[in-house]
Amino acid sequence: MLITCPYCGPRDVSEFAYQGDGNRNRPDPASTDLVAWNAYVYDRLNPAGAHNEIWQHAGGCRAHLAVVRDTLTHEILSVRFAREKGAPAHGRRKSGAKA
Amino acid sequence: MVEQLSPLAAAFRPGSHGNFVDGVGVTLSEMAPGSIVQVAAWPGEEKKLIAAISSITGLKLADGAGAGAVSERHTVFGFAPGKFLVTDTAEGLASTLASAVTPATGSVTDLSHGRTAIRVAGQKSEWVLAKLFAVDFSLVAFPQGSGISTAHHDIFAQIQRSSPDRFDLYVFRSFARSFWKMLCHASDEVGYEVR
Ligand SMILES: [Zn+2]
């Protein structure tokens, strides 16, 4: 499985650390809404198909990445920096072509 | 000035080793620069940081992931978004950089004693490194001057291509000797010279 890091380019999955489901939205830390916290901690979609995930390029540039992975085929459908909400998929460094 | 001690110690054995009857495939050496410094920019301050690095090292950095440059005295390359590794054959680079990089621009971390710089040179260097790292080392994907961050198992490594047939590897000093031994094993097949 290859993940194309927006900074580093295509790298083996062994360089990445899975940081969990990317669909979670943490409730306000001051909130005491038990239902919301229960959902945040336990509720998972577990889809057979495209899944939003957070990965860290721990053995590389160490950036946190928002990855869409197909859980049936392991195909990586898109990658962007986790901090860039809404940024276009994939970055500057592509295999075989880099400034 | 304190005398530098190599962490490679007795594992550094100058001379030709391995299968060198048909010629030496790679030359392995320890670079031992006086300074190895990591500089990082706050988001949005990257251009200011690059300008500061350029003014001190005299090296021009292209805009782009992993871009870098090399001179007789200095090396520079980006290894992560907004982060660069800068070296100097002389000591004292960290304080020079710290005076040019204000706290509003970014941070300066002196890694001179924390990293060991190992040079792999020769026509078989791509071949040997490809055994250790799952990275494309071809000149097209990994142009001269550019750098990358990667890992061999859990030994983190930063690698810069300082010429078409030459790579400079920066590894943790505490792991340098075991990494060096592994590099020697990987080079055995093509014949290697340590100098
Ligand atoms: Zn990366």
Instruction: Pick B151's closest partner by Cβ from A15, A63, A99.
Output: A15
| pLDDT, position A94 | 42
Instruction: Pick A59's closest partner by Cβ from B62, B65, B156.
Output: B156
Q: What type of residue is A94? A: K
Q: What's the complex ipTM? A: 0.90
In chain A, which residues have their Cβ closer than 8 Å to the Cβ of B64? 92-93, 98-99
Q: Is B192 exposed, middle or buried (0-12, 13-18, 19+ CB in 10 A)?
A: buried
pLDDT higher than threshold 80 for residue A85: no
pTM recorded for the entire structure: 0.89
- DSSP result, A29-83: TT---HHHHHHHHH-----SSEEEEEEE-TTTT--EEEEEEETTT--EEEEEETT
CB contact under 8 A, A8 and B64: no
Chain A residue with Cα closest to B145: A99
CB contact under 8 A, B65 and A7: yes
* Alpha carbon distance A3, A12 (integer Å): 7
**Which residue segments constitute the domains of chain A, with CATH numbers given?**
1-24+46-87 (3.30.2270.10)
CB contact under 8 A, A97 and B140: yes
Q: In angstroms, what is the span from residue A62 Cα to ligand 1's centroid?
A: 6
User: pLDDT of B102-123, one tens digit each?
Assistant: 999 999 999 999 999 999 999 9
Q: What order of strands is seen across the sheet that includes strand B74-80?
A: B68-70, B74-80, B83-88, B35-41, B106-110
* Alpha carbon distance B118, A94 (integer Å): 27
pLDDT higher than threshold 70 for residue B155: yes
Check if B114 contacts A (Cβ < 8 Å): no
* Alpha carbon distance B72, B68 (integer Å): 14
**Which residue segments constitute the domains of chain B, with CATH numbers given?**
15-32+114-194 (3.30.1360.120), 35-110 (3.30.70.1520)
The two structure tokens encoding residue B113: 């004693």
* Alpha carbon distance B131, B149 (integer Å): 16
